Amino acid sequence: MIIGITDCSKYENYRIWIESAMPGIEIQKLDFHESQAEDISGCHGILLSGGEDVHPSMYNKPEYLSYCYPDDISLRRDEFEWKVMQEVVRKEIPVLGICRGLQFINVFFGGSLIPDLTTWGKFNHSKLPDNTDRYHSLSIDPSSYLYGLTGIQSAIINSNHHQSADRIGKDLVVSAIAADGTVEAIEKKFPEQGGWLLLVQWHPERMSPKDSPLVSTIRSSFLNAAENYKLKS
């Protein structure tokens, strides 16, 4: 089974998290400096990782650029991942979006972002002063696909981001929120249609405890979807 993972500064965290799930998984690094979107043709699942801010021009809000981190934004990555998502949708490849991955995929489907949560009056989402993850609570919609996977309605998750989803993309729906209303998970409005998709704002690849359903079950569900895709292809 081949899983494609988009490159970022913490790429190794994602690689190890997926590789350690079961033997025999091959990881394909999707480096926007070197890869072409067509390189995902042999992949059975795609993980869009965290990292840079999404450029506001991608969701028609160029006036938001001043709220982004100027040294942490890459239109080249945005344009590459846009092409990757076009292939994902066309081939119905299972896709898991984490942190930036949630934000970018929401934008791909026509959504928009809050460019800086603190400025918008939503606190306690960015990393702590010592650069470690913050932790806070979230609530899961009991009618959601995510609830069906995990069986939990509330939990504590890690948090390290300053942007979040605002307007939700076409045919997507919010499935988990923080206490202040910040979007923490997005899924398909009709999960049975098209390929498997789940988007989470937290970082399961480095969250504790490792056996939390919001870590282990999300990973196993993604990989099961990839395995099923492999069997069909």
Question: Which of 44, 55, 125, 203 is an active site residue?
Answer: 203
Confidence of residue 54 (pLDDT cuts 50, 70, 90): very high
pLDDT reported for residue 35: 79
pLDDT reported for residue 45: 98
Mean of pLDDT values over 193-221: 96
Dig out the tokens for 20 from the structure: 């350690």
pLDDT reported for residue 39: 84
Question: Which of 8, 43, 68, 99 is an active site residue?
Answer: 99
pLDDT reported for residue 4: 97
pLDDT reported for residue 38: 82
pLDDT reported for residue 70: 87
Model confidence at 145: pLDDT above 90: yes
**Alpha-helical segments (H) within 154-217:** none
The question of whether 203 is a catalytic residue gets the answer: yes
The question of whether 68 is a catalytic residue gets the answer: no
Give the integer Cα–Cα distance in Å for 122 and 223.
33
Q: Is the bond leading into 209 cis (omega within 30 degrees of zero)?
A: yes
Give the integer Cα–Cα distance in Å for 196 and 206.
23
Give the integer Cα–Cα distance in Å for 185 and 206.
17
φ/ψ region of 222 (left if φ > 0, alpha if ψ in -120 to 50, else beta) reads alpha
Class of domain 2-232: alpha beta
pLDDT digits (tens, 9 = 90+) for 102-128: 999 999 999 999 999 999 999 999 999
Mean of pLDDT values over 4-17: 97
**Alpha-helical segments (H) within the chain:** 11-19, 75-91, 100-108, 145-150, 218-232
pLDDT digits (tens, 9 = 90+) for 148-183: 999 999 999 999 999 999 999 999 999 999 999 999
The question of whether 205 is a catalytic residue gets the answer: yes
**Percent of the chain residues topping a pLDDT of 90:** 93
Q: Give me the phi and psi of 117, to 5 degrees please.
A: -60, -40
- Domain edges within the chain: 2-232
